[in-house]
């Protein structure tokens, strides 16, 4: 039973990273401000959760009544959306995605500290390998689309928001469809408020812009969040961490195929560094026993 549960969790994790990998390509198809895109996406995600959970809510305390729901759930989700979408408009999407998806390293470091394990030598070594692999990429603006320092900083801020959101999901029992509906709806309202306060409304938005933004909410930023929460509770965090490192690899391949990113040696070095850090910091945990949740 445990083995079946773990396998299903890993399949959910694989679906998650596949959906996340498609996000840069989908975002490139539309011309909407970052927070307006986020508002439409989260609105569509909330509607999806409503339709999927129409039979009613299970018994138990509503997640939205708790402070962590707003600070770590809504705050983390909204921050991840804002900083990532904003970063994508400031440079090469392959580079931005690769920097953003360093967040599993940070997630593991924070999880170790919260569990009282401290900072492990192999974890620090893995982090050093990943960052060493990224240095040539960050300095290689001669190839591909130029990427500003602000773009890299926003990518890292998105990763930090992802860490907060994942810690919230991992620290709870499984969220119900109603909980996810509230989470997505709250993020949509927050994103809409930020759009109205800080962004200019688009003058020539098309039906495709609105449709693809909604598709992002149904897939990469809707169903993927739900399957990620499911995977975090039911599968090995070691293997899930390794899967997550493949998001920038898969997304970069897609971007290269559609002509939005340039194939280059620094990109290959970065891939090797990030994936090498996954092997150093996470695969070594498997012999230690039980499936983590």
Task: Report the C-alpha gap between 94 and 247 in whole angstroms.
Answer: 10
What three-state secondary structure class fits 66?
coil
Domain layout of the chain by residue ranges = 1-54+63-282
pLDDT of residue 290: 37
Task: Report the C-alpha gap between 105 and 86 in whole angstroms.
Answer: 22
pLDDT of residue 292: 36
pTM above 0.85, yes or no: no
DSSP state of 262: -
pLDDT of residue 173: 58
pLDDT of residue 63: 74
Tokens of 151: 């773009």
Task: Report the C-alpha gap between 147 and 189 in whole angstroms.
Answer: 30
Q: List phi, psi (to 5°) of 239.
A: -70, -35
pLDDT of residue 237: 67
Give the closest residue to 152 by CA, choosing from 91, 106, 102: 91
Segments in the chain forming alpha helices (H): 2-21, 23-28, 34-52, 67-68, 75-88, 93-100, 103-114, 121-138, 149-170, 177-198, 207-218, 224-234, 237-244, 246-257, 265-281
pLDDT tens digits for 110-144?
A: 877 777 777 777 777 877 887 788 778 767 654 55
pLDDT of residue 287: 45
pLDDT of residue 178: 83
pLDDT of residue 238: 61
Regions in the chain scoring below 70 on pLDDT: 1-3, 5, 53-62, 138, 140-145, 172-174, 236-239, 282-293
List the end-to-end C-alpha distance of the chain, in Å, as a whole number. Answer: 15
pLDDT tens digits for 160-185?
A: 999 999 888 877 656 777 888 899 99
């Amino acid at each position: 039973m445990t083995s079946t549960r773990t396998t299903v969790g890993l399949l959910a994790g694989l679906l998650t990273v596949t959906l996340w990998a498609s996000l840069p390509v989908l975002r490139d198809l539309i011309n909407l401000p970052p927070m307006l895109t986020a508002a439409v996406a989260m609105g569509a995600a909330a509607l999806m959760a409503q339709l999927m959970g129409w039979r009613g809510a299970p018994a138990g305390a509503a997640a939205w009544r708790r402070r962590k729901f707003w600070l770590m759930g809504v705050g983390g989700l909204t921050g991840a959306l804002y900083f990532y979408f904003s970063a994508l408009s400031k440079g090469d999407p392959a580079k931005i995605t690769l920097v953003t998806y360093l967040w599993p390293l940070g997630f593991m470091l924070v999880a170790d500290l919260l569990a009282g394990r401290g900072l492990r030598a192999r974890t620090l070594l893995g982090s050093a390998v990943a960052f060493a692999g990224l240095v040539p990429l960050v300095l290689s603006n001669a190839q591909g689309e130029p990427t500003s320092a602000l773009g890299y900083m926003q990518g890292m801020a998105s990763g930090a928001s992802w860490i907060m959101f994942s810690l919230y999901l991992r620290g709870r029992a499984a969220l119900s469809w109603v909980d996810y509906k509230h989470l997505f709806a709250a993020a949509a309202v927050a994103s809409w408020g930020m759009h109205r306060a800080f962004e200019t409304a688009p003058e020539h938005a098309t039906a495709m812009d609105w449709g693809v933004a909604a598709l992002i909410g149904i897939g990469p930023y809707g169903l993927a969040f739900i399957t990620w929460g499911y995977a975090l509770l039911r599968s090995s965090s070691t293997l899930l961490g390794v899967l997550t490192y493949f998001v920038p690899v898969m997304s970069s391949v897609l971007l290269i195929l559609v002509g939005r990113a340039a194939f280059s040696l620094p990109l290959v070095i970065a891939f090797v560094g990030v994936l090498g850090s996954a092997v150093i910091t996470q695969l070594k945990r498997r012999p230690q026993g039980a499936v983590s949740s």
